Amino acid sequence: MLRRHFTWPLCIALLAGVGACADFQWRDAAPVRADQPEPTTPEALESECSRLRAQIRRNQVTAQEAPSTTSTPIIADASIGKADRNIDLLQKRYDDLDCPSHPDQNQSTPASGAPAPVPAASGLP
């Protein structure tokens, strides 16, 4: 009988714990693949460069969205740090492969909700 009294509260606590973690998102489910063999064909090189560009962009978006998608500043800082580390690893691989520059890499887009840059006024008093 004593066992039955402890079993139900334990099950309820376990279910509540699982329910509380259900909306938790793993930001980087797959590890960064930066130590792959060299591509042997031009098509393989373009495919690898394209994959690296996509992963770099995904990590940039993760870093930008971290403050608004996490509940505490320390978690946001950890997400940003992890994204920055991943970007560094991916960029090193991108540079090692000598991938051609891509037009999307040179564009800096303001974060959503950020005001557009205002050009400096010249000749105004």
Q: Over the stretch 44-91, which tens digit does the pLDDT of each residue have?
A: 999 999 999 999 999 999 999 999 998 899 999 999 999 999 999 999
Number of domains in the chain: 1
Furthest-apart CA pair in the chain: how many Å?
88
What range defines the domain where residue 47 resides? 37-99
Token readout for 28 is 């980087």
Asked if residue 81 belongs to a domain, the reply is: yes
Asked if residue 6 belongs to a domain, the reply is: no
pTM: 0.56
> How many Å is the Cα radius of gyration of the chain?
23
